[in-house]
């Protein structure tokens, strides 16, 4: 880069002009002018000086003629500023004078011009300033000139260096970058990809470069966890420990402050608990609302809490401090009794300053938790009051778009604090309008200016919500994408004025043009954009009328629609042939005017609005955005219709990347930035869809690059995008390690795609859960077409950035499976079977059913936690439950065929056989399915006889807590006994955690205590109902158990034993409360539905199940694993099969989505583990040093019934969910580390199997390289 130059000029009246001139980040020159001590606006009158010529020239980006430009200074703080950017490297200097616009006088330098010289950049340093896509095009042309040889990577690099040299030489001769871009683009109009595929040419270097997507991370105040609920912060967790009967909660984050509000129902009274992590003297300044949240009323005296006073129309209440070992916070507790308040508004005074909600009051809706008003008949959340009002006012809204947008503004203002449901309601309404399911105009005339201004008010409100409520940005963008930008002043008026100019200039004042003119004057709409485009295509095609109708039809306009307007269009267009050029010119300009009002998502309109002057400056200047953005937008605008899609996609993405930081913080003209990004995203999507048609899926590098672009676009489009970013980083990693036909590479790549499929499926489910109920309720209220209602959310998803990724994954997955030798099935439980096909959506919905004939269940979804129904001989699904999940183990134990299908076409074909008989034959890695039933398999149905002999409950030993030395089979289950057996027998490098237990009979003893008499009676009543067949009472028993009171002896014994074993326990009341709750949860899990049904299926007496609780130090490890020393998939006893996850093992044994990493080790060669799947688990669980309470029943390892996994294990301290990033995970990327660790784990399994003399199921943890075994049991 050249050294910047600095100039200072002393002017009249004490003014000073400071100028800094430098080379910019992309090889262009930049001059920053600053006028100081100035009290009015001045204008820079300037021109460029080229080498060898002293005349003034206008910069080449505007024209090549001699002349000058005038640019006004803009007020900025105490100074006036102006920035000039020069895109022509031939410019050697700028000469200028200053003009005082208000007094019409000129200011010169000693009767001459001011002059500043442009720093010259040396040729060598210009290399990295030449755009990458320009170098790529030139390298491609050099390769063509050589005859398109099959180049090696080294030869490709030589072409690339030659391209750089050629471009440097042309720049030195005075050509501009724009001229070089135009020159190379004109030369090469063909798609590069097809020729590359035919010749083996790999993507050039810029196509392989990867962006640092970590910089794009966005996490907002209310991120969603795996279940779709709000993640719990440390403050929320802390307050919840002492708060009961919580109905709803709301969180606010302002700078470093967190504020949580819990609405509670205490004996019928409504109470608000407001807590914060602020320090020092703090008080709540608040008022109540009765009919609308916009109200601020003085609270009545009977609800004012202690430590309060009334001031200036509000109440001020001081916060109360509370602290414990876990942390401290301040709170205010307000009892609103049964006063029927709508909510409260408040601000907080703390440490000498007011804390508000980004410029607004904090607002809490106390009626939002009223299920009667917000839950529809199916139990799904909707904002019923708003939807009812929308339906009531639709008759008013259909009068004109002005009415509709004014009503939308009113409703949006009223519901903006109703959570996301209010904006979802507005979005659904606007989408029904945008898709023409609602009337736009009916018996009402309105000026375009009035529509434009109404739209401007609506989008200004959406802009404020976007800036002030980040967690609502996604739904706000969905709304903005459905409407135009609008505008004040003459923006809308130009629609009326310019149509008259077109008619006058081109002699078309009658017929269709006059009909259109009348419509425009009385009710302009987005349809006018389509009509204008149709007219342009008609004129450009030499007045072919079919071009007009084809354009209208492609955009949903028919003759019937045109004739239905209040001012109908009945005629076809007719123009004089000599008016062609004038019509094209005038209609093109008019199209821009129409789009400026009606087309928020139109790229050309958005770019023009963004870059056009506004009060003397453009959005780039006032927002301080990078010049690179302007370059990218200019190139995009110029090449938007090119057929070479990959460079265009890169340039679109570059523009979004440059724009991204500005969208995350409040700025002037933020609305223009939002509409620009929406338009860019829309154009990216349509370009991706076009490129999909020519992709060569047999060429992995091409597909990998293209998926990289799609993923990067998805990162930029997703709010709370942490997991997408981690997947994109991982995708970049596998892209860089590509090796042709490499099995391990294909397995790693497939794991990333599997995880992405889970994310996309989860996002779809979230959309259906949050949007579809509102679409159905409002659609039925407005009498919308049934099909449009049913596909509403589907259409929203298809229009999103994830749809193309789903298509790419589905088409690339078979390629990867072929490379990895996977086939289209993964066998989880190998067994031949014959039966009749029954299709279900979720396996869990039929787990209680009994089938009278052999049945093959084809299930769209299997979580891993279900029971397999009686009579089922096979379960086939596209879901990917862990091989060691509950349902997988049950299938293997019962010799039921269980397999995952990876091919959608195969699965669809299978579903088409519903009701018919099929036979399944399992191979090592595939299934062979044929029609009809094999006679050998027909009789194979699982018959359960009686339960295990001599199975009976256990009695209480008289102690509530026992040490490891006291473990016996009469006191504890096999988990505890096995831990005792292993301790002292395993080598010193295998660690066994310290353990104690609550023995059998303790639950029954506590329940019989007089303090729990009422609970015992309630449980007995509920058990009677269950024995009568009412399984809904199982949950009630679990809840009743949680109400039990502990005997003092149990508490004392537990505290003493934990201290003596030096487990991580504080010993205070809070620790005891959490421990006691964990013990009760383990006891209660005996009555979970899955466990109860398992007992019933195996004829096992549920009352005879006794539950001990194994208490261990929770090893907070780096990894958790499960070993099966006899390969459960193949049945090969010479192989050890292991699955491993990051963090705690609950994500492995529980129903957490995604696959664990798995490997097989031959017992004859423990140092050579073979990885068979790579991880796609989405989250890891991590805990601070704590204690875990494990279920340990007397039914753990009964023959014919495996109780392991049926009952719960509970951490004393809740684990934190962490979104996993595998891009730098050593298990995946470091082969030496992987082999070393996996060999050690396999050796652990081999050692323990030898100790027992039979195959073992072993759970363990790895912490800092050390293996800890937490339980072992015989493998079943």
Strand 897-901 relative to strand 870-877, pairing: parallel
What percent of the chain stands above pLDDT 70? Answer: 87
Decide if 831 contacts 922 (C-beta within 8 A): yes
Residues 56 and 46: their CA atoms lie apart, in Å, by: 8
Which of 396-400, 710-714, 890-894, 1179-1183 has the least mean pLDDT? 890-894
* Residue 943: Cβ within 10 Å count: 7
* Residue 176 or 677, more confident: 677
Q: Stretch 653-681: mean pLDDT, rounded?
A: 85
Query: Could you tell me which residues come within 8 angstroms of residue 1225 by beta carbon, excluding any fewer than 6 positions away?
Result: 1142, 1175
What is the predicted pLDDT for the residue at 75? Answer: 80
Q: pLDDT band at 326, cuts 50/70/90? A: low
Which of 127-141, 395-409, 680-694, 1112-1126 has the least mean pLDDT? 127-141
Is the pLDDT confidence value at 363 over 70?
yes
What is the predicted pLDDT for the residue at 414? Answer: 83
What is the predicted pLDDT for the residue at 193? Answer: 41
Strand 42-50 relative to strand 91-100, pairing: antiparallel
Decide if 56 contacts 49 (C-beta within 8 A): yes
**Distances from the Cα of 1213 to the Cα of 315, 379, 515, 1075, 1160, angstroms:** 38, 32, 73, 9, 34
pLDDT tens per residue across span 431-450: 999 998 999 988 888 888 88
What is the predicted pLDDT for the residue at 372? Answer: 39
Q: pLDDT band at 1125, cuts 50/70/90? A: very high
The CB-side HSE value for 801 (13 A sphere, CA atoms) comes to 27
Place of tokens 């303790």: 1002
The DSSP secondary structure of 240-269, one letter per residue, reads HTT--SEEEEEEEEETTEEEEEEEEEETTE
What is the predicted pLDDT for the residue at 222? Answer: 42
DSSP, collapsed to helix, strand or coil, labels residue 21 as strand
pLDDT tens per residue across span 561-580: 999 998 999 999 999 989 99
**Which residues are known to be catalytic?**
886
Q: Residue ranges of the alpha helices (H) in 438-578?
A: 448-468, 473-480, 490-505, 511-523, 527-540, 545-554, 559-563
Residues 174 and 179: their CA atoms lie apart, in Å, by: 10
- Radius of gyration for the chain, computed over Cα atoms and rounded to the nearest angstrom: 36
- Identify which of 150-159, 258-267, 325-334, 471-480 has the greatest average pLDDT: 471-480
What is the predicted pLDDT for the residue at 325? Answer: 57
What is the predicted pLDDT for the residue at 230? Answer: 31
**Distances from the Cα of 942 to the Cα of 886, 918, 937, 1100, angstroms:** 18, 18, 12, 16
Decide if 1105 contacts 1097 (C-beta within 8 A): no
Residues 346 and 364: their CA atoms lie apart, in Å, by: 9
**In a 10 Å sphere around its CB, with 0-12 CB exposed, 13-18 middle and 19+ buried, how is residue 932 labelled?**
exposed
Query: Could you tell me which residues come within 8 angstroms of residue 264 by beta carbon, excluding any fewer than 6 positions away?
Result: 243, 244, 245, 246, 247, 270, 271, 272, 273
Closest CA to 1148 of 1179, 1109, 1173, 1125: 1179
Closest CA to 752 of 776, 771, 725, 775: 725
What is the predicted pLDDT for the residue at 374? Answer: 61
pLDDT tens per residue across span 448-471: 888 999 999 999 999 989 888 888
3-state SS string for 756-789: HHHHHHHHHHHHHHHCHHHHHHHHHHCCCCHHHH
Is the pLDDT confidence value at 703 over 90?
yes
Is the pLDDT confidence value at 369 over 90?
no
Is the pLDDT confidence value at 1223 over 90?
yes
Residues 1015 and 261: their CA atoms lie apart, in Å, by: 32
Is the pLDDT confidence value at 947 over 70?
no
Residue-averaged pLDDT of the chain: 84
Residues 1209 and 1079: their CA atoms lie apart, in Å, by: 9
Decide if 979 contacts 1274 (C-beta within 8 A): no
Closest CA to 884 of 669, 541, 1124: 1124
pLDDT tens per residue across span 229-268: 333 356 777 787 777 777 777 777 776 788 888 888 887 7
Name the E strands within 686-757. none
**Structure-block tokens of residue 82:** 């102006």
Query: Could you tell me which residues come within 8 angstroms of residue 1242 by beta carbon, excluding any fewer than 6 positions away?
Result: 1123, 1136, 1138, 1159, 1161, 1166, 1169
Residues 730 and 371: their CA atoms lie apart, in Å, by: 42
pLDDT tens per residue across span 1005-1049: 999 999 999 999 999 999 999 888 888 889 899 989 999 999 999
Is the pLDDT confidence value at 122 over 60?
no
Is the pLDDT confidence value at 509 over 80?
yes
What is the predicted pLDDT for the residue at 62? Answer: 46
**Distances from the Cα of 687 to the Cα of 152, 603, 692, 1056, angstroms:** 30, 12, 9, 69
Largest Cα–Cα separation, the chain: 115
What is the predicted pLDDT for the residue at 258? Answer: 85
What is the predicted pLDDT for the residue at 1245? Answer: 96
CA angle 635, 639, 643 (to 5 degrees): 145
- Identify which of 18-27, 47-56, 502-511 has the greatest average pLDDT: 502-511
Residues 1138 and 1125: their CA atoms lie apart, in Å, by: 8
DSSP, collapsed to helix, strand or coil, labels residue 55 as strand
Decide if 679 contacts 736 (C-beta within 8 A): no
Is the pLDDT confidence value at 614 over 80?
no
Q: Stretch 894-918: mean pLDDT, rounded?
A: 89
DSSP, collapsed to helix, strand or coil, labels residue 329 as strand
Residues 114 and 98: their CA atoms lie apart, in Å, by: 9
What is the predicted pLDDT for the residue at 228? Answer: 31
DSSP, collapsed to helix, strand or coil, labels residue 622 as helix
What is the predicted pLDDT for the residue at 191? Answer: 43
* Residue 1276 or 1237, more confident: 1237
What is the predicted pLDDT for the residue at 209? Answer: 55
pLDDT tens per residue across span 468-478: 888 889 999 99
**Structure-block tokens of residue 1209:** 């294990």
User: What one-character DSSP code corresponds to residue 40?
Assistant: S
Q: Stretch 702-725: mean pLDDT, rounded?
A: 92
Is the pLDDT confidence value at 618 over 60?
no
Decide if 1055 contacts 1067 (C-beta within 8 A): yes
3-state SS string for 87-127: CCCCEEEEEEEEEECCCCEEECECCECEEEECCCCCCHHHH
**Structure-block tokens of residue 339:** 């006063």
Residues 570 and 1090: their CA atoms lie apart, in Å, by: 67
What is the predicted pLDDT for the residue at 194? Answer: 42
pTM over 0.75: no
pLDDT tens per residue across span 971-1004: 999 899 999 999 889 999 999 999 999 999 999 9
What is the predicted pLDDT for the residue at 1248? Answer: 96
């Amino acid at each position: 880069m050249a050294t910047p130059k600095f100039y200072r000029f002393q002017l009249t009246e004490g003014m000073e002009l400071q100028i800094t001139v430098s080379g910019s980040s992309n090889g262009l020159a930049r001059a920053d002018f600053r006028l100081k001590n100035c009290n009015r606006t001045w204008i820079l009158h300037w021109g460029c000086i080229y080498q060898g010529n002293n005349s003034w020239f206008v910069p080449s980006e505007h024209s090549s003629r001699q002349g000058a430009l005038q640019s006004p200074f803009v007020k900025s703080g105490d100074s006036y500023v102006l920035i000039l950017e020069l895109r022509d490297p031939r410019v050697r200097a700028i000469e200028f004078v200053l003009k005082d616009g208000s007094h019409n006088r000129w200011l010169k330098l000693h009767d001459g011009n001011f002059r500043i010289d442009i720093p010259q950049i040396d040729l060598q340093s210009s290399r990295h300033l030449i755009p990458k896509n320009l170098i790529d095009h030139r390298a491609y042309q050099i390769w063509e000139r050589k005859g398109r040889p099959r180049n090696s990577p080294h030869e490709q690099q030589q072409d690339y260096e030659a391209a750089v040299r050629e471009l440097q030489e042309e720049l030195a001769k005075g050509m501009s970058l724009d001229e070089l871009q135009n020159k190379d683009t004109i030369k090469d109009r063909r798609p590069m990809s097809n020729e590359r595929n035919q010749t083996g040419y790999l993507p050039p270097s810029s196509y392989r470069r990867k962006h640092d997507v970590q910089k794009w991370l966005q996490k907002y105040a209310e991120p969603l966890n795996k279940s779709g609920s709000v993640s719990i912060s440390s403050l929320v967790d802390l307050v919840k420990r002492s708060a009961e009967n919580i109905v709803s909660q709301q969180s606010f984050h302002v700078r470093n402050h967190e504020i949580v509000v819990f609405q509670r129902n205490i004996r019928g009274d409504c109470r608000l608990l407001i807590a914060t992590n602020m320090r020092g003297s703090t008080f709540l300044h608040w008022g109540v609302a009765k009919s609308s949240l916009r109200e601020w009323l003085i609270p009545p005296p009977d609800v004012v809490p202690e430590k309060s006073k009334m001031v200036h129309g509000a109440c001020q209440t001081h916060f109360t401090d509370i602290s414990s070992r876990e942390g401290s916070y301040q709170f205010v507790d307000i009892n609103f009794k049964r006063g029927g308040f709508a909510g409260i508004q408040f601000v907080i005074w703390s440490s000498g300053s007011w804390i508000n909600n980004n410029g607004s009051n904090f607002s809490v809706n106390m009626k939002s938790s009223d299920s009667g008003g917000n839950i529809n008949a199916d139990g799904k959340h909707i904002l019923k009051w708003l939807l009812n009002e929308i339906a009531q006012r639709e008759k008013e809204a259909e009068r004109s778009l002005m009415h509709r947008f004014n009503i939308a503004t009113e409703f949006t203002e009223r519901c903006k604090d109703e959570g996301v449901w209010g904006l979802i309601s507005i979005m659904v309404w606007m989408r029904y309008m945008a898709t023409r399911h609602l009337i736009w105009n009916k018996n009402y005339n309105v000026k375009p200016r009035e529509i434009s201004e109404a739209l401007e008010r609506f989008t200004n409100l959406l802009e404020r919500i976007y800036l002030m409520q980040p967690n609502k940005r996604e739904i706000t963008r969905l709304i903005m994408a459905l409407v135009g930008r609008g505008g004040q002043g003459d923006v809308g008026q130009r629609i009326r004025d310019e149509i008259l100019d077109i008619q006058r200039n081109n002699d078309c004042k009658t017929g269709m043009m006059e009909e259109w003119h009348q419509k425009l004057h009385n009710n302009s709409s987005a349809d006018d954009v389509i009509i204008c485009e149709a007219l342009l295509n008609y004129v450009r095609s030499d007045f072919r009328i079919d071009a007009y109708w084809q354009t209208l039809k492609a955009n949903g306009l028919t003759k019937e629609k045109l004739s239905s307007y209040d001012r109908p269009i009945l005629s076809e267009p007719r123009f004089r042939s000599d008016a062609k050029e004038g019509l094209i010119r005038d209609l093109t300009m008019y199209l821009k005017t129409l789009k400026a009002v009606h087309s928020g998502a139109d790229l050309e309109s958005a770019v023009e609005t963004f870059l056009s002057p506004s009060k003397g400056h453009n959005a780039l200047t006032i927002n301080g955005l990078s010049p690179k953005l302007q370059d990218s937008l200019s190139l995009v605008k110029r090449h938007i219709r090119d057929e070479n899609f990959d460079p265009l996609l890169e340039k679109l993405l570059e523009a979004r990347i440059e724009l991204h930081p500005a969208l995350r913080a409040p700025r002037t003209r933020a609305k223009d930035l939002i509409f620009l990004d929406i338009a860019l995203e829309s154009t990216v999507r349509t370009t991706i869809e076009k490129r999909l048609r020519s992709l060569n899926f047999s060429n992995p590098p091409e597909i990998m690059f293209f998926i990289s672009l799609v993923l990067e676009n998805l990162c930029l489009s997703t709010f709370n995008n942490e997991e997408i970013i981690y997947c994109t980083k991982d995708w970049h990693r596998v892209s860089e390690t590509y090796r042709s036909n490499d099995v391990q590479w294909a397995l790693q790549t497939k794991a990333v795609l599997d995880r992405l499929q889970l994310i996309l499926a989860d996002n779809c489910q979230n959309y259906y859960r949050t949007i579809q109920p509102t679409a159905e309720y409002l659609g039925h209220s407005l009498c919308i077409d049934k099909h449009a209602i049913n596909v509403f959310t589907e259409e929203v998803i298809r229009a999103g950035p994830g749809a193309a990724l789903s298509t790419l994954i589905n088409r690339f997955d078979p390629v990867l499976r072929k490379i990895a030798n996977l086939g289209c099935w993964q066998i989880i439980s190998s067994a031949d079977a014959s039966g009749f096909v029954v299709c279900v959506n979720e396996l869990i919905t039929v787990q209680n059913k009994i089938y009278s004939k052999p049945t093959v269940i084809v299930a769209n979804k299997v979580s891993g936690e279900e029971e397999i129904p009686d009579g089922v001989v096979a379960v086939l699904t596209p879901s990917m439950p862990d091989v060691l999940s509950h349902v997988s183990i049950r299938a293997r134990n019962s010799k039921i065929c269980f397999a995952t299908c990876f091919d959608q076409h195969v699965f669809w074909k299978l579903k088409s056989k519903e009701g018919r008989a099929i036979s399944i034959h399992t191979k090592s890695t595939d299934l062979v399915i044929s029609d009809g039933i094999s006679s050998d398999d027909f009789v194979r149905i699982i018959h359960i006889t009686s339960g295990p002999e001599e199975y009976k409950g256990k009695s209480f030993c008289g102690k509530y807590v026992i040490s490891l030395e006291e473990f016996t089979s009469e006191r504890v289950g096999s988990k505890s006994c096995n831990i005792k057996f292993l301790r002292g027998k395993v080598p010193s490098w295998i660690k066994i955690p310290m353990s104690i237990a609550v023995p059998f009979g303790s639950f029954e003893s506590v329940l019989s205590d007089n303090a729990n008499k009422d609970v015992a009676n309630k449980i007995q009543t509920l058990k009677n109902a269950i024995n009568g067949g009412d399984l809904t009472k199982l949950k009630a028993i679990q809840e009743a158990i949680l109400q039990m009171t502990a005997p003092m002896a149990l508490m004392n014994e537990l505290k003493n034993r934990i201290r003596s074993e030096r487990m991580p326990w504080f010993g205070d009341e809070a620790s005891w409360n959490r421990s006691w709750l964990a013990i009760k949860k383990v006891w209660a899990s005996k009555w979970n539905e899955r466990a109860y049904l398992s007992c019933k299926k195996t004829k096992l007496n549920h009352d005879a199940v006794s539950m001990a609780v194994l208490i261990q130090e929770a090893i907070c490890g780096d990894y958790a694993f499960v070993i099966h020393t006899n390969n459960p998939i193949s049945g090969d006893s010479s192989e050890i099969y292991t699955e491993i996850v990051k963090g705690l093992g609950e994500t492995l044994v529980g129903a957490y989505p995604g696959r664990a990493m798995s490997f097989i080790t031959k017992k004859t060669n423990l140092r050579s583990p073979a990885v068979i799947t790579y991880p796609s688990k989405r989250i890891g669980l991590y805990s601070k040093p704590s204690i875990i309470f494990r279920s340990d029943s007397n039914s753990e390892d009964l023959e014919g019934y495996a109780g392991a996994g049926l009952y719960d294990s509970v951490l004393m301290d809740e684990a934190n969910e962490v979104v996993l990033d595998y891009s730098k995970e050593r298990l995946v990327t470091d082969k030496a580390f992987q082999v070393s660790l996996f060999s050690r784990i396999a050796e652990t399994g081999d050692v323990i199997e030898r100790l027992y003399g039979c195959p073992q199921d072993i759970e363990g943890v790895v912490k800092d390289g050390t293996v800890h075994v937490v339980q072992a049991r015989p493998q079943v």
